[in-house]
Amino acid sequence: MSSFPTLPSLLTGHALLLEEDSFATACQLSTKQKADAGDIFWRVDDFHVDLAIVLEPEGRVIQACQILPVAIDALGNSLATLAPPKVAITYDWPNLVRANGGKIAHARAAISTLSPDQIPDRLVIGFSIRLHHDPADAEPGENPELTTLGEEGCPELTSNELIESLCRHLLAAIDGWQSDGLANYQRMWGQRIEPANAARQFELNDELITGKPTGIDDNGNLLIELPSGKTKTFFLINQFKIFDEIE
């Protein structure tokens, strides 16, 4: 296999050194207007794949932020395609993907501005995926909160195959979102949100509450049913940082 993944024509790939952070690099270059929409940056070691994509939003901030649940669903669908059918893929809002209950991937998000009435120049989504077991971690099975693609039935999967799959699913998801809005992704989040139909404690934005996640609304905000029967909303925009905050 080539040492460089085969990417869709709309994307331009940039392989980084091990000591570089793909998300931080994409954000820094976006700030300097040295990264364009469709630029993909990745850093790969034997155990992890870190990847970031630069996007150019077409709508105002609230609409642009909807890309995060769309991207998480693209990541989940990519992992579901690569893993055996028995592997259950679920989501923790706003940015975590689980496989059979174990944390396998998460995303980060940054944007050029958080002013609600502005159209951002650039937006960056970063992905971190656990490909194979890292000897620095607990032995497989000792920590059920963590897992890898290798442990979930993909021991021969390469980083190139993972990057190629994620890029294909991401472009398809973005195209679907731009054409049809967030409705399809609301449905998928309703099916895959963790824990499904069960109450637990949430600590978001320095607030600790108990409730049951019921899905996301038209803007990707998390809806939690409280014991009182009322619904609590956690706002997606609060999960984004601006580029200057990324080191």
Residue-wise pLDDT for 178-237, tens only, equals 999 999 999 999 999 987 667 888 877 677 889 999 999 999 999 999 999 999 999 999
Residue 213 pairs in a beta bridge with 224
The CATH number of domain 12-198, selected from 3.30.60.50, 3.30.930.10, 3.30.1330.20, 3.40.50.920: 3.30.930.10
Q: Is the pLDDT of residue 82 over 90?
A: yes
What are the phi and psi torsion angles at 156 (to 5°)?
A: -100, 0
Per-residue pLDDT of 87-115, as tens digits, reads 999 999 999 999 999 999 999 999 999 99
Do 72 and 97 contact (CB within 8 A), yes or no?
yes
Q: Which helix (H) or strand (E) holds 191?
A: helix 183-192
Per-residue model confidence (pLDDT) at position 201: 84
Eight-state DSSP code of residue 75:
H
Q: What is the mean pLDDT of residues 70-78?
A: 98
CA–CA gap between residue 122 and residue 78 (Å, rounded) = 24
Q: Give the domain ranges of the chain.
A: 12-198
- For residue range 113-162, what is the model confidence (pLDDT) as tens digits? 999 889 999 999 999 999 998 887 777 777 889 999 999 999 999 999 99
Judged against a pLDDT cut of 60, whether residue 29 lies above it is answered with yes
Helix (H, G, I), strand (E, B) or coil at 203: strand
- pLDDT at residue 23 tops 90: yes
Q: Are 108 and 23 in contact (CB under 8 A)?
A: yes
Burial label, 176 (beta-carbon count in 10 A; 0-12, 13-18, 19+): middle
Alpha-carbon distance 225 to 196, whole Å?
Answer: 12
User: d(Cα 24, Cα 73) in Å, to the nearest integer?
Assistant: 22
State residue 1's pLDDT score: 40
User: Which residues are registered as beta bridge partners of 125?
Assistant: 53, 109
| pTM reported for the whole predicted model | 0.94
Query: Cα(10)–Cα(231) distance, rounded to whole angstroms?
Result: 40
What is the DSSP annotation of 13-56?
A: EEE--TTS-HHHHHHHHHHTT---TTEEEEEE-SSEEEEEEEE-
Average pLDDT over residues 158-180: 97
Contacts of 18 by beta carbon, 8 Å cutoff, 6+ apart: 43, 45
Q: What is the mean pLDDT of the chain?
A: 93
**Residue scoring higher pLDDT (47 or 197):** 47
Residue 121's SS3 state is coil
Q: What percent of the chain has pLDDT over 70?
A: 98
pLDDT at residue number 15: 96
- Distance from C-alpha of 224 to C-alpha of 232, rounded to nearest angstrom: 5
The whole-number pLDDT of residue 197 equals 67
Peptide bond before 85: cis, by omega within 30 degrees of 0? no
What local confidence, expressed as pLDDT, does residue 202 receive? 80
